[in-house]
Structure 1
Amino acid sequence: MIAARKYDFRKVTVGDLPMLLEWQAQSHVREWWDSDEPYDEEEISDPRVSRWIVLVDGRPFAFMQDYSVHGWEEHHFAHLPKGARGIDQYIGDPKMIGVGHGTAFISARMNILFDGGAPVIATDPHPDNERAIAVYRKLGFEPSGQPKETQWGRILPMLATR
């Protein structure tokens, strides 16, 4: 496990796109992330989604996004209260997997979102992504329904409150 570390979240810029493409080409990311559709400048400026490069000790190693669950028609979390946020993320650097960084930086971002007024945080891992589901459970997420198909693929809806 890692010692307590400080994680920083820097907004994604156009200059980060090559790094994100490199991370999305990693097999551990490709398994669960739709890496055939890299972001472009228009997507990274979409006001519904806040996209972040996660850094530890000044070193970028992961991508995270949080988004308004009310930003899309018929979103599977649209029933949640106003201000609810959804999250998605991946660790891009394979050397940083399996040592506690995921749990730590997701927890740090959740605290920022809750402190900012989010009443609930939602996430939607693939039902077969046991590692992600275990991390989310450790962070207080609980399934909020059965696995289902959505326009973004098969998901297990999960929710966390402070």
Structure 2
Amino acid sequence: MTPSTYQFRPMHAGDLPLVRDWLTVPHVAAWWHDANAFEFVSGDLDHHDMGQFIVSCADRPFAYLQCYRIGDWHKGFGPQPDGTRGLDQFIADEEMVGRGHGSAFIRAFSESLLKSGAPRIVLDPQPTNARAIRAYEKAGFRRTGEIDTPDGRALLMVRDA
């Protein structure tokens, strides 16, 4: 899989029903189980610090990705260089899970951010989410330690330029 394998289309209001359905898929809901997850996604659609994307492969939408500027609400991440970006994502299409797509599209998206001047990218998976942690490590991220976030305990992972 090459970086051009994946398309990152900015999400728009017409995508909300798709994302709402995706959040109910059992393997997604297991980690995005917050009762307000859809409200956060839909409420941030026009937020100036948040980019949301539908990820496709061969014109097949299969994943959601959000990219945000680390701000005051991310104090649990500790001091980060100016311009640091955070990522959250999930693969909704079960046929695409376990085939290397997660690490590949995260690597492709991260590399584009770093080439565009972001000094660092951070991720904060739950420490028990072994599949996500493995994918992030394959995408070039390293573990830096556990942190407390508003969503609970998380493993801070970083990738530097």
With the length of structure 2 as denominator, give the TM-score of the two structures: 0.90
**C-alpha spacing 1:54/1:117, structure 2 compared with 1 (3 Å):** same
CA distance in 1, matches of 2:111, 2:19: 25
> Which structure shows the bigger proportion of residues in strand conformation?
2
**Alignment partner, residue 151 of structure 1:** 150
Figure out how many residues of one structure are paired with residues of the other and give that number: 158
Structure 1 gaps of 5+ residues are: none
CA deviations over 1:45-85 (Å, ceiling 9, x no partner): 01111110001111111000111112x34522351000110
Structure (1/2) with the larger helix percentage:
2
Give the Å deviation of 1:153. 2.1
| Residue 23 of structure 2 corresponds to residue 24 of structure 1 | yes
SS at match of 2:81: coil
Structure 2: gaps of 5 or more residues: none
The one-character-per-residue Cα deviations of 1:111-142 (angstroms, maximum 9, x if unpaired) are 11101101111000000000111111112211
- Return the offset for 1:152: 2.3
Cα RMSD for the two superposed structures: 1.6
2:61 aligned residue = 60
Query: Quick one: distance in 1 between partners of 2:74 and 2:26?
Result: 31
Quote the sequence identity (%): 38
Q: 1:5-58: per-residue Cα shift (whole Å, max 9, x none)?
A: 611111111110110011100110011114522146542001111110001111
Q: Secondary structure at the match of 1:80?
A: coil
Shift of 1:150: 1.3
